[in-house]
């Protein structure tokens, strides 16, 4: 019998759910006997190499790159699981949702106490290489169909 193929990704979140998985220490070697990891920060495979049985998504969607990754997972995984508070409800990143994105960016790059006097040009980064911020942080199920939810 072949091992189930699993892919994992972190979107807008703290990486805490992946850290919890890594906290099983040497037992991860037992896990590798039972499953095959494909695209995942656990094995550092950056792109899908085959169709996966299960995709585990941690984190919500706060920018265009998060949406791209989430849609790619939906396309390449038979079962998609949101795991952790950030993926299921937006988590801590969603605390910015009541504040307009323009105000968030101004606080982060122009007015915040950690940037006062350090951004003399008064420029908010706007390079095409930087993913476009969304107006709010979305839980994964508001972007694609999620098959299961696993609180974390």
Q: For the chain, which residues make up each domain, given as ranges?
A: 5-150
Quick one: pLDDT at residue 75?
98
Q: Is the pTM of this model over 0.85?
A: yes
Cβ contact 45:38 at 8 Å: yes
pLDDT(1) > 80: no
DSSP letter string, 67-81? HHHHHHHHHHEEEEE
Spatial distance between the Cα atoms of 63 and 130, rounded to a whole number of angstroms: 9
Spatial distance between the Cα atoms of 52 and 75, rounded to a whole number of angstroms: 10
Quick one: pLDDT at residue 137?
97
To the question of domain 5-150 being in CATH 3.40.1190.20, the answer is: no
pLDDT band, very low/low/confident/very high, at 88 (cuts 50, 70, 90):
very high
Out of 31-35, 49-53, 77-81, 130-134, least confident range: 31-35
In the chain, % helix, strand, coil (3-state, to 5) comes to 35, 25, 40
Spatial distance between the Cα atoms of 76 and 37, rounded to a whole number of angstroms: 13
pLDDT(101) > 80: yes
Spatial distance between the Cα atoms of 11 and 23, rounded to a whole number of angstroms: 20
Note the pLDDT tens digit of each residue in 111-148: 999 898 888 888 999 898 999 999 999 999 999 999 99
> Looking at residues 17-25, what average pLDDT do you find?
79
* Rg of the chain, C-alpha, whole Å: 18
pLDDT(19) > 90: no
Quote the mean pLDDT of the chain.
92
Q: Starting from the edge strand earliest in sequence, which strands make up the sheet with 5-10, in order?
A: 36-37, 5-10, 52-58, 77-83, 148-150
Quick one: pLDDT at residue 60?
96
């Amino acid at each position: 019998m072949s091992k189930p193929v699993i892919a994992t990704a972190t979107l807008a979140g703290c990486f805490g759910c992946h850290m919890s998985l890594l906290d099983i220490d040497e037992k991860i070697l037992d896990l590798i006997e039972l499953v095959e990891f494909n695209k995942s920060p656990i094995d550092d495979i950056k792109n899908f190499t085959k169709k996966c049985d299960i995709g585990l998504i941690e984190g919500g969607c706060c920018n265009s790159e998060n949406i791209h990754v989430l849609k790619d997972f939906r396309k390449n995984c038979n079962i998609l699981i949101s795991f952790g508070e950030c993926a299921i409800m937006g988590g801590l990143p969603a605390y910015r949702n009541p504040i307009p994105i323009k105000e968030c960016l101004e606080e982060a790059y122009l007015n915040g106490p950690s940037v006062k006097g350090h951004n003399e040009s008064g420029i908010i980064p706007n390079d095409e290489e930087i993913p476009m911020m969304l107006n709010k942080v979305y839980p994964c199920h508001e972007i694609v169909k999620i098959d299961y939810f696993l609180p974390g």
